[in-house]
Amino acid sequence: MPVTASGILSEPLSVLRTMLSESSSFQTWVAAANAAAALGSIYLIGTDTPVRPYAVVSRIDNWSSGLVGGSPGDYGFIASGRLYFDFEDAISSGNQASYADSMLAFKNNVGAVISDLQNTSGGSERLLLRRFDMVAGPQRFDKTESNSDADVLWCRFSVDYGLET
């Protein structure tokens, strides 16, 4: 039985997964009819049986929680941290021969998803996303390097969330 993300260290991973699924660009990229269907292409922590294209919301770093508020009795703790997430896609047969075309198509898809995340940051049931960094890639891996049946493109992002402390 799958474990559900709960608690202050796991919930941010799950919320970012939901935000990715709500991206219309991600839905188009993975040919999902809606956010619920797109969730099937976004994994928490990792996966043993990926279906490309997909995203993985993998880990949380630099987590902290600080007390905020004004008058006595009107305060609470606000969490912040850094989340990491990856994108991976198989190179389409039409782009196998052209490194430039395959990389541009991948960057177009990834860039559109990041733009969607930036535009929907904050609000109810969402994370306040403050800073995005591409920390690795994009890179192309052949079938041997990717240990799969396809040449793939991959990249990793980090995103800082919450209030700056």
CA distance 57 to 5: 12
Where along the chain do its domains lie?
11-66+76-161
* Bond from prior residue into 12 cis (ω within 30 degrees of 0): no
Total-model pTM: 0.90
Out of 1.20.120, 1.10.3470, 3.30.2000, 3.30.300, which CATH number does the structure's domain 11-66+76-161 have? 3.30.2000
> How many CB atoms within 10 Å of residue 126?
16
Q: What's the confidence (pLDDT) of residue 96?
A: 63
Q: What's the confidence (pLDDT) of residue 95?
A: 64
* 31 DSSP 8-state letter: T
pLDDT (tens, 9 = 90+) of the chain, 165 residues, equals 578 999 999 999 999 999 999 999 999 999 999 999 999 999 999 888 888 999 999 998 999 988 887 666 677 888 899 999 999 999 876 666 688 889 999 999 999 999 999 999 988 889 999 999 999 989 988 776 666 777 899 999 999 999 775
